[in-house]
Amino acid sequence: MSQAEQDLAGAQLTSKANPNGTTSYTVVTGVGSNQATVLRFLPVDLTVKAGDSVTWLGTDPHEIHTVTFYDPAGKVPEFVVPQPQPNGPPKLVLPHAAPEGDKQVDSQELYNSGILGPGQSYTFTFPKPGVYTYVCVIHAAQGMFGKVTVQAVGAAPSGAPRPAGLPRTSEGAQSAPLVPLVVGAFLLVLLGALILRRRAAQIR
């Protein structure tokens, strides 16, 4: 566990600005050593802009992985599918061992890197805003899932602070009723007029 925690702490998202204004990111696809393995995409959730690309790089010297985008409303793609045979045991088929679909993820369809060995990488580009869910089909049972949120170009970053001075009216705070405000303002004006009138009478 100690070694796994060290490997986890050393795994960092990296990025590089491109001449065309887009950004290329590199996600760590599992980390490990001779003593431990961390079966996670790091980071699990990533937010990018439309047009950006993401490379998944395997740094574990022993494990293989896939980066498989799919429709989360459906079934998680299976790594091994047994097919019955007329004689003998079933044949084990690996339906997602090779790359499938385009390298541009823009819908809730199947996009697959195929099996990535240690040190291998695969890159997807994200031309359209949306939320795209992916999984390592080999380690789905161990919870190796990820998500890429693609924002429109020019959109404020997720969680960005609001400009100073703007009211935060949409986060549970109730706006003050309009009628009491108007009545209160009228009473203040009336009170001010009475004070001024009294002072004028004293001066006379």
- Tell me the per-residue pLDDT of 145-159, one tens digit each, with 9 for 90 and over: 999 999 999 887 654
**Dihedral pair phi/psi, residue 23, rounded to 5°:** -130, 140
In this structure, the answer to whether residues 47 and 13 fall within a common structural domain is: yes
User: Low-confidence residues of the chain, pLDDT below 50?
Assistant: 159-196, 198-201
User: Helix, strand or coil for residue 29?
Assistant: strand
Domain that holds residue 181: 176-204
Write down the pLDDT at residue 199. 47
In this structure, the answer to whether residues 116 and 197 fall within a common structural domain is: no
Domain boundary (134, 151, 168) is at: 151
In this structure, the answer to whether residues 16 and 76 fall within a common structural domain is: yes
How distant is the alpha carbon of residue 171 from its chain centre?
22
CA-wise closest residue to 61 among 26, 98, 36, 40: 36
Write down the pLDDT at residue 5. 75
Assess if residue 167 is contained within a domain. Answer: no
Write down the pLDDT at residue 4. 66
Write down the pLDDT at residue 69. 98
| Tens digits of residue pLDDT in 171-189 | 333 333 333 333 333 334 4
Domain boundary (135, 151, 167) is at: 151
Write down the pLDDT at residue 157. 63
Q: What is the pTM of this model?
A: 0.73
Write down the pLDDT at residue 17. 97
Q: What is the strand order of the sheet 130-135 is part of? A: 45-49, 145-151, 130-135, 68-69, 111-112
Write down the pLDDT at residue 173. 31
**What is the b/e burial string over 21-50, where b = at least 16 CB atoms within 10 angstroms of the residue's CB?**
ebebbbbbbbbbeeebbbbbbbeeebbbbb
What is the count of structural domains for the chain? 2
Give ∠ CA 147-34-139 in degrees, rounded to 5. Answer: 30
In this structure, the answer to whether residues 147 and 191 fall within a common structural domain is: no
User: Helix, strand or coil for residue 68?
Assistant: strand
Write down the pLDDT at residue 56. 98
